[in-house]
Structures are given as C-alpha cells and as structure tokens.
Structure 1
C-alpha cells in the first residue's frame, strides 16, 4: 500500500477539535466516503440464505462494521496526538482505507436487511480516547497499538470467514479484502517503528474486543 502525501500543516487546537467532531458525526451518522477502490462484493450475485443464516451473517457484519467505526476513531485519535508528521500521514491514509471497509460493511448490512449497532457512539468515544492516549504516549507505542489491533482484527476476520456460509460470496469477498488490508496496515505500522506492547496491554485489548463483539452481536 502506498502512503499518499497529505497536508502537514498543523491546525490550531480548536481546529483539531472541530475536525475530529465533524469526522465523528460523519462516521456515526453519515454515509462513509470511500477511496478510489471498488466494493469487492459489488460484481457478485446475491446469495439465497436461510433466515437463521441471514441473521447470523448480518450480526457478524454488524460486528465488523462496529470494528471499522472503532478503527476510524482509533486512527483519528492517534493522528490528533501523533508527534511526527510522517506518523500523522500514515494514520490518515490508513483511516481512509478503513473507511472503505466501513462503507462495504454498511452496504452489506443493508443488503441483509439488518441495522448497525445502537452502541456505536459509545464504541467510537472509547476507541478515540485510546487512540489519543497512545499518541500521547509516543509514536512507537501508537504504532505498536496499531500493529496489535490489526493482528486481533485479522484473527476475528478468520473466525468470521469460517462461520459464513461458503456460498455467501458477497460477504466473503468483503471480509477477505479487509483481511488483506489489515495485514498491510500492521506491516506498515511495524516497519515505521511500532513497538511490541507489553503482555498485560495485549490481554486487556483482547478482553475489551471480546466484550465488544459479544455485545454488538445482539445490540
């Protein structure tokens, strides 16, 4: 993945707050603005699913959608407090690509006749706070947090791919492309100097992720 050059001009603190608030509103209540990439599921035919299969796949996609809401918040929080312009640029470009995932998951949810999580504002706020905190801790820790987050996302995408019916090509295509992107984001963050997080932090992240996924499946 190439990193696009972005404007490195620093805004005032008030500008940063307003930009972050605008991004939060767009993520939670607007239509995601995608990059130049096409939804990988767009050219594929719709699949006939039993009602129980449709509900389960929709709930899995809702989890993935909320995960992408959190990714937007995480990257925005990190970009806000990152020390180096290069780190800000990496965070901003990764957030743009994660926005593709957000749009694809939202489209698939609509196709499956289901809704987004009602708790997305709560998850966004929590992820933004964590992103800002890791940014304040230093760029190496911020990037290390991205590496661990992407590894955990890759793991749960593998789990979802195992659960989705093999003939549901549309959902599978989205998750497979998401997996490819998450691996790239982890590699980029690691090569940029991401530090290995201590075991207690990795455990806490896994526990938080487990709580989130189990809650969002139903709410």
Structure 2
C-alpha cells in the first residue's frame, strides 16, 4: 500500500469517526430530551396520549443509542467530550418544552428531527460512496426513517401551533446544528 493510500484511508477513517461520534452524541441527547419531557408529563398526566407518544419515541431513541454504543466500541471511536454537557442541555430542553405544554414538546421533537433528517440524509449519501460501509449506511438510513416518523407525528399533534413556534423551532434547530459541528471534532 502506498503512502497515498494510507493517507486516504486515514482521511476516510477520521471522517467515519466524526460521523459515528456525532451520531452517538445526538442519540444520547435525544434520549435525555425525552427523559426530561417524560419526567414532566408523567408527573402531570401519567396516562395521557402525550406520555404514550413520547415513550414510543424514547424507546426508538434508546435502540438507536444502543446501536451507536456498539459501533463506538467496535470501531474504537472516541465519544465527544461534550456528552455530559449535551446530556444536561438535552434534559433541560426536554423539561422546558414540556413545561411550556404539549404542543411545545412536539415542536421540540419536530425541530430536532428536521435537523437530524438533514444530517442523516447527508451521511447516507456520503456513506454510499464507501462500498465497505453499506451496513453503517443502512443503519443510518433506517434510523433516519424513524426520526422522520417522529417529526411527522409531532407535526400531526400540533407542533406548529405551539406559542412562538417559529422562534422556538429556530432556536432548537440552531442548537442542534451547533452541537453537531462541535461533536464531530471535540
């Protein structure tokens, strides 16, 4: 193998590690958002539809996180050092949006999942150029489809009717995009 091949592989490997690191962080953050929302809604409305909806989405996120935990371990990927901060921020975002009401909680889901759909879609395209990464690409695509279903459910439940929706959604999307960029590198 030539030095150019080695350099190319290290660039690909570094990019794969960035993808896995940020996806792992994102799924961990999503789990924490739902934990925060469920803490509020279970206390106030333990048998409400919102609780059932959030539990279903939280279960999906837990499966995604478990899968990325395995990929991180198998490939020796260093998780982002930001995970503790993202976990606290995710939980706080979940609690805050739940305290604002059901529609705000759904607005949070819709905003987060819109960013994740874009992010995962770009990764699927990038991974499609790496024949050896078909398994990872297929996993990311499957998770993307589940995230889109979460977004659609949230919108159907009135996310866009949340007070200050445009501002709330915009702030959450900006925070997610920032977390993605930081988590890739740090």
Specify the TM-score bucket, using the shorter chain as the normaliser: 0.7 to 0.9
Instruction: Give the match's secondary structure for 1:114.
Output: coil
Show the 5 A alignment for 1:152-167. Answer: 152-164=115-127, 165-167=129-131
Structure 1, unmatched stretches of 5+, are 1-48
Aligned match for 1:189, one of 141, 144, 154: 154
C-alpha root-mean-square deviation of aligned residues, in Å? 1.7
Instruction: Indicate the SS of the match to 1:217.
Output: helix
Q: 2:68 aligns with which of 96, 105, 110?
A: 105
Contact 2:107 2:168 in 1 (8 A): no
Residues 10-89 of structure 1: pairs in structure 2 closer than 5 A: 50-82=9-41, 83-84=44-45, 85-89=48-52
The count of corresponding residues between Structure 1 and Structure 2 is 171
**What corresponds to 2:78 in structure 1?**
115
Distance in 1 between residues matched to 2:20 and 2:161, nearest whole Å: 29
**What TM-score, normalized by structure 1, do the two folds share?**
0.72
Q: Could you tell me which residue of structure 1 aligns to residue 168 of structure 2? A: 201
Task: State the match for 1:214 in structure 2.
Answer: 181
Do the aligned residues in 1 keep the contact of 2:108 with 2:172 (CA within 8 Å)?
A: no
Indicate the SS of the match to 1:184: helix
Deviations 1:102-126 (A, max 9, x none): 1111222223221211221110100
Q: Please state if 1:173 is matched with 2:142.
A: no
Shift of 1:160: 1.6
CA contact (8 A) 1:148 1:202 kept: yes
Whether the aligned pair in 1 keeps the contact of 2:107 and 2:169 (CA below 8 Å) is no
TM-score for the superposition, normalised by structure 2: 0.84
Shift >3 Å, 4+ stretches: none
